[in-house]
Structure 1
Amino acid sequence: MNQTPPPSRCRLVLIAPPSVAVERIGAALSGGDVASLILTQEGSDEASFQAFAEKIVPMAQAAGVAVVIAGDSRVAGRVHADGLHVEGGTEDLADAIERHQDRMMIGAGGAKTRDDALELGEERPDYIFFGRFGYDTKPEPHARNLALGRWWAEMIEIPCIVMAGSEIASVEAVAATGAEFVALSAAVFAEGVDPTAAVAQANALLDRSAPRFED
């Protein structure tokens, strides 16, 4: 359940593969402010991924959460997603922007260096993502992602999302970079975690410590 208007500080982006139960995703969205939800295919076939997305998209959109499909423009179109996440480099990103940006947001991932990020940024995606899906295996965010996020937030107007770690407390380190969004996956959806409580805790930490953005 999202706040209205949204908070003027770093906001949450949740990343969910098909291995996460639909009920757990719904529970996470009920925990507090969530800007968007990225659905990743994680090795599932197209039909299974589409079936998963078809259950999630209307539920999330009804809660005021934008849904982004990672890597599959056909599924994104069929389920009426709000966005498409592209990891394939500048050519794939440029093609996706040309074909789809008139009807959905297009985000870019895969940048490992500043040069990578600048090349992607030249295509004018709606956001750039620093991190890798499924690699939030340590409690803290990856130092490279924090450094890239801090540099990007200081220099470039295109919003950035930075991958946090496997502990909720790691949202504070991401917020300190000035990034507009912090991504959580394992910290919310790992086995034994209460997704509702995790999202509520993440928002409380951001409310307490995240820098405020100017209107």
Structure 2
Amino acid sequence: MTTITCQLYLISPLDVGEDFPAKLAEALSAAPVAAFQFRVKGVNQHEAARLAEPLQAICADHDVAFIVNDDMALAKRIGADGVHLGQGDGDPREARRLLGPDAQIGVTCHASRHLAMDAGEAGADYVAFGAFFPTTTKEVEHRAEPEILRWWQGLFELPCVAIGGITPENAKSLVDAGADFLAVSSAVWTHAEGPGAAVRAFDAILSARPID
């Protein structure tokens, strides 16, 4: 009997200015977090780099991987720990050439087994499935079922991330299905008692799961 631990992967809101660095520090101080994804839209690379700087420092202080959403060039510019690629954001092989062998490269695979296998063959470090639940973070075109996590874990060693509308109330089904990481955004940043309370609520669920 072995144990595998599902870990928390935070995704930023689109607005990371003003008091957001304090919110991030509160979240990362509350309980273990594996990674933080920097996701901003509609700003140029110079402004994105400026916004990323304090957040990257907070992640470094807490030993949390800093992942850039979509933009390989920005990840390279700021020395991020990795990049997360949507299906239209480039090839993982290109990201590997640009960012080097130690970069963490993730790929959005929606609810597609085929896309996930392609990402693995292209050298991705993890694949992301979702959305599993309704979400206000982004428009949902694809809905995934927990069964895809069970299928992936039964065949592949590459970690899988569950994303989309995940809350402390619905997370257990994804942990039980085999998610290695839960990617969460609004459930943390809009929590009534603050991001620290939200992270602690998730941490209570993310206990080791026994497998044969």
TM-score grouping bracket, smaller chain normalisation: 0.7 to 0.9
Confirm whether residue 211 of structure 1 aligns to residue 199 of structure 2: no
State the TM-score, normalizing by the size of structure 1. Answer: 0.82
The answer (yes or no) to whether the contact 1:154–1:178 under 8 Å persists in 2 is: no
User: SS at 2:30's partner residue?
Assistant: coil
Query: Closer, same or farther in 2 for the Cα pair 1:213/1:106, shift >3 Å?
Result: farther
- 1:143-182 to 2 correspondences below 5 Å: 144-182=144-182
Q: How many equivalent pairs are there?
A: 201
Runs of 4+ in 1 over 4 A off after TM superposition: none
Partner of 1:13: 9
Query: Closer, same or farther in 2 for the Cα pair 1:145/1:37, shift >3 Å?
Result: farther
Give unmatched runs, 5+ long, in structure 1.
1-6
State the TM-score, normalizing by the size of structure 2. Answer: 0.83
Structure 1 Cα separation of the partners of residues 117 and 199 of structure 2: 32
Structure 2 Cα separation of the partners of residues 52 and 151 of structure 1: 38
- 1:16-27 to 2 correspondences below 5 Å: 16-20=12-16, 21-27=20-26
Query: Closer, same or farther in 2 for the Cα pair 1:78/1:195, shift >3 Å?
Result: same
Query: Closer, same or farther in 2 for the Cα pair 1:186/1:178, shift >3 Å?
Result: same
The answer (yes or no) to whether the contact 1:149–1:177 under 8 Å persists in 2 is: yes
User: SS at 2:173's partner residue?
Assistant: helix
Query: Closer, same or farther in 2 for the Cα pair 1:163/1:182, shift >3 Å?
Result: same
Partner of 1:190: 190
Partner of 1:4: none
Cα deviation 1:56-88 (Å, max 9, x = unaligned): 111111101111111112221222211111113
Deviation at 1:53, TM superposition (A): 1.0
Structure 1 Cα separation of the partners of residues 4 and 182 of structure 2: 14
Give unmatched runs, 5+ long, in structure 2.
none
- 1:29-48 to 2 correspondences below 5 Å: 29-48=28-47
The alignment yields a C-alpha RMSD, in angstroms, of 2.5
Deviation at 1:186, TM superposition (A): 0.9
Say which is worse superposed, 67-76 or 43-52, in terms of deviation.
Answer: 43-52
Partner of 1:97: 96
Percentage identity across aligned positions?
A: 29
Query: Closer, same or farther in 2 for the Cα pair 1:91/1:184, shift >3 Å?
Result: closer
